[in-house]
Amino acid sequence: MEEQRQKELEGLCRQLGMEMKDLHLLDMALTHTSYAYESKKNPRPQHNQRLEFLGDSVLSLVVSTHIYKTCPQMDEGELSKLRAFLVCEETLAQLATENHLGDHLLWAKGKSTWNGEENPSILADAFESVLGAYYLDQGFARVTGLLNRLLISRIPELTADGIDRDYKTRLQEVVQKDGPAEILYDQVSAEGPQPQPDLCDACPGERERIGQSREDQKRGGTACRKGSAESPPVKKVL
């Protein structure tokens, strides 16, 4: 590792209140896949996807344990909703921004239009990757302490305006409260790059994957526009 990069990462550790024996783990956590694939170094730098996978699990366990212990009045569904809010992309990107993780990210020069320092998805992934790196280097107790400082202690502040920011999910819950129903969406406008349709295997040629949560995307799950063949849905046009 170059001396300048080492000093940069040491400064980030001091800022976050972390001690790390292996800074290469932190360097990997802040290396986007595009940078690794573009690099002409041999061997190529390791990117952060595997650390993100690990950090996602660590984050979920720490948050789940905390809210289970501190929210005895909540049932399983309410706990799941709160956890989903606390570990969602928007929350994690906010924490990453506040702690300047974007300033230390490495990504491809050809992807400069991504604005990696401001891209919520890249920032959220980087936050989880740092958790994964810190867990491997220092263990579960230390990463729990870090999350207590960065996230857990701020739960009252983060939830002050409510946790139902996903208006689409709220709409679906209201419409389907009396049983299965088909929701027909009419696109009014679109901005930014358009994703390619991802067809559901169970419904070839007919149904597209629609909006998914961060957890659904990691599981590779799909959501169909139509109900099952066994129980035809009631159509409700909004």
How long a stretch of residues is the chain?
238
Beta-ladder partners of 212: none
Q: Please name the residue that has the structure tokens 């800022």.
A: 15
What does residue 17 show for φ and ψ, rounded to 5 degrees? 75, 35
Q: Which amino acid would we find at residue 5? A: R
Can you read off the two tokens belonging to residue 185?
Answer: 């969406």
Can you read off the two tokens belonging to residue 2?
Answer: 């170059």
Q: Between the CA atoms of 132, 136, 142 and 148, what dihedral angle is there, to the nearest 10 degrees?
A: 10
**One of 27, 52, 125, 128 is an active-site residue; which one?**
128
Pair 225, 238: CB distance under 8 Å: no
103 is catalytic: no
**One of 56, 75, 118, 206 is an active-site residue; which one?**
56
Count CA atoms closer than 13 A to 3's CA, side-chain side. 0
Angle at which helix 89-98 crosses helix 120-138, to 10 degrees, equals 70
128 is catalytic: yes
Residues known to be catalytic: 56, 128
